[in-house]
Chain A
């Protein structure tokens, strides 16, 4: 009796969960499907789900028009570079805030978060002029630095909450064994914090990948990322749903694939100290 109730429950759960999941995922699914349709079929009434002329023409057009590899490479370099740079700077900061807290620690943390609340467009002109003067307009360097600065508060905060999870006794024990500060960080702290660091890296990769304001406004032909790539497919004249879908699929595919492979890390690590 009990086993069949459990089986029933599991089935119902599965049905509901899959229905909800597909509903949420539907826009993404539809975009991918539409990328394989012709423009005329993309707006067909009634909408076509599976039975249409599957074609790769949209991908061919997109590939011909825009240098996808260049945009992809730039996105990877900018997102990866800014995240790694951020981790380098944030790990020491988060470490000291977690293990050597002072009265001001909480205030500093919240101040850091508040720097994220400055609307980017308000500082467009000063930053743009600054980049011109430094010769960094349309360069990946400028993007890496700026995106790092934008996400640094989040990186510091996430690492801070993970480090606080680590019991200090272990670190004290290592210290008493005579380990120097750097050894402590490298051999004791880091291995324990790897899940936390990994999910911080993942979250920041996603945030940096999707950042569109600075990546659009500070770049021209050389440093454009996938956000600039998408910008050339939105609302031109004529029909464009299918081409936009193809371009969108190409833009989000890398990060979707990354997310698929790392979802366990993401889920496991995203505690934010929310877990007692």
Chain B
């Protein structure tokens, strides 16, 4: 009898520890870090036996695709790559599996607090950050010296405007400053929103009334447009991250304020002609106590109701762990590891001394999505408001702004339209 019981017990433990090899489908964005991860998937398969199929899409298409799938509970994907915008909303709707039982090895406490906070709802983590960024100033040390100026570690907007005008050299095709103007809530919209925070503006007041009719917003846009007409590239109304990156790498920008991840591109001698002439500084402020740097993370989440939860969790642990970071470092060098997710990365002797590491960390640490504006605001998020309607509204608003940058309407007209669009949409959605 005892023998029988022990045999049965042995069989149970055996089957319990044998996990069937699963095939996971992941939807992700087509940026460099993700493509790199796709190339390293064999490591995951070797360690766990699970295989992974990749569906890589451009950011806007990805967002729509996964939103459609998750709201209809389609189950087409086992793992989704989402950002700080979706996670709190989806988490609160119960559409994501809570990541509260990750293994001890994973060391959840190592995640940067701002990242973990931005990806949680009511204290529970719903997506594991794979990549984090803030924004900062990247500038040409040689052009700065030539203009006889010195960049402070935490400059003001007035200084930046002055430096931009002085560095501009149209005859030699050098623009003092290159900034995003492209329509899109994640492109130019994100930039101007973050900038507006430092000018004391906000999207909504505490009763959810749109604030585009305030002096702060008008100051922001006027400052931006004036600076860009004097010191920015022609056609900036359609310049997004890629266009500015290209300009900076070709040596045509004196300064560029954009995502911290850009630093690894502009200091890469393979693509950049100015790789060794780049300095970094915190995103500017206007003396009001809030800087203009934003906060964003790409994170991996699991749709609720998936059949492959255990395997998916294993993948998420693998992809956002310190050992993955070491794997990338071993294969492609420390400058190419996914930044901005873990504190330990910035304490690592190999990474600390990379030129942009410290400024990236400082930028991330100084960004607080829960306190993003000078005056109190009812929403979370620095360059966006974490409400479902935001994407649609902000796309329309940013299109109006871009039209103003292109000279197709005045700033006053653009702001008036933005005000109407936003108030109408918020009323239609039941906020006011």
Contacts and interface: CB of A to CB of B under 8 A. Distances in A.
Is the A/B pair a real complex? yes
Interface of A: 39-40, 43, 64-66, 124-125, 128-129, 131-132, 137-138, 216-217, 220-222, 224, 228, 231-240
A132 B72 contact: yes
B74 A221 contact: no
Given A132-B73, A137-B76, A237 B31 contact: yes
Interface in B39-98: 39, 53-58, 61, 65, 68, 72-77
Contacts of B68: 124-125, 128, 217
Give the residue among A124, A125, A131, A220 with the most B Cβ atoms within 10 A: A220
B190 to A, nearest CB: 14
Nearest to B31: A237
Contacts of A217: 65, 68
Contact of B30 (A64, A222, A236): A236
B25 A129 contact: no
B246 A239 contact: yes
Contacts of A228: 55, 57
* In the A-B complex, the 7 residue pairs with the closest CB atoms: A221-B53, A232-B56, A220-B76, A236-B30, A221-B25, A237-B31, A234-B58
Contacts of B56: 65-66, 232
B341 to A, nearest CB: 17
B32 A221 contact: no
B142 interface: no
20 contacts: A64-B39, A65-B35, A65-B38, A124-B68, A128-B72, A132-B72, A138-B76, A217-B65, A220-B27, A220-B76, A232-B55, A234-B58, A235-B242, A236-B31, A236-B58, A237-B31, A237-B32, A237-B265, A238-B245, A240-B242
Contacts of B76: 137-138, 220
A138 to B, nearest CB: 5
Contacts of B246: 43, 239
Contacts of B73: 132
Contacts of A65: 35, 38-39, 56
Given A228-B55, A238-B245, 4 more contacts: A220-B77, A228-B57, A232-B55, A236-B30
A232 B27 CA distance: 11
Contacts of A128: 68, 72, 74
A64 B31 CA distance: 16
Nearest to B32: A237
A137 B75 contact: yes
Contact of A235 (B27, B54, B58): B58
Contacts of A64: 39
A220 B72 CA distance: 15
B424 interface: no
Nearest to A218: B76
B282 to A, nearest CB: 22
B241 interface: yes
Interface of B: 25, 27, 30-32, 35, 38-39, 53-58, 61, 65, 68, 72-77, 241-242, 245-246, 261, 265, 271
* A contact patch SS: loop
A56 B57 CA distance: 24
A249 B72 CA distance: 35
A237 B73 CA distance: 30
A132 B35 contact: no
A66 to B, nearest CB: 8
Nearest to A234: B58
Given A236-B32, A237-B32, A238-B271, A220 B55 contact: yes
Contacts of B77: 220
Given A233-B30, A236-B30, A39 B271 contact: yes
B303 to A, nearest CB: 12
Nearest to A229: B56
Give the residue among A65, A137, A236, A240 with the most B Cβ atoms within 10 A: A236
Contacts of A132: 72-75
Contacts of B54: 221
B25 A220 contact: yes
B242 A237 contact: yes
Contacts of A222: 53
B72 A238 contact: no
A51 B376 CA distance: 60
Contact of A238 (B25, B58, B74, B265): B265
B55 A224 contact: yes
Given A39-B271, A137-B76, A238-B242, A216 B58 contact: no
B161 to A, nearest CB: 27
Contacts of A236: 30-32, 35, 58
Given A132-B72, A137-B74, A236-B30, A216 B271 contact: no
A69 to B, nearest CB: 14
Nearest to B25: A221
Given A125-B68, A221-B25, A238-B265, A40 B271 contact: yes
A220 B70 CA distance: 13
A37 B39 CA distance: 23
B130 to A, nearest CB: 15
A231 B61 CA distance: 8
A124 B77 CA distance: 18
A155 to B, nearest CB: 29
B233 to A, nearest CB: 14
A239 B271 CA distance: 9
Contacts of A237: 31-32, 241-242, 245, 261, 265
A258 B271 CA distance: 38
Contacts of A124: 68
Contacts of B38: 65
A43 B245 CA distance: 13
Nearest to B33: A237
Nearest to A220: B76
A137 to B, nearest CB: 5
B75 A238 contact: no
A138 B68 CA distance: 13
Contacts of A235: 58, 242
B252 to A, nearest CB: 11
A129 B76 CA distance: 12
Contacts of A224: 55
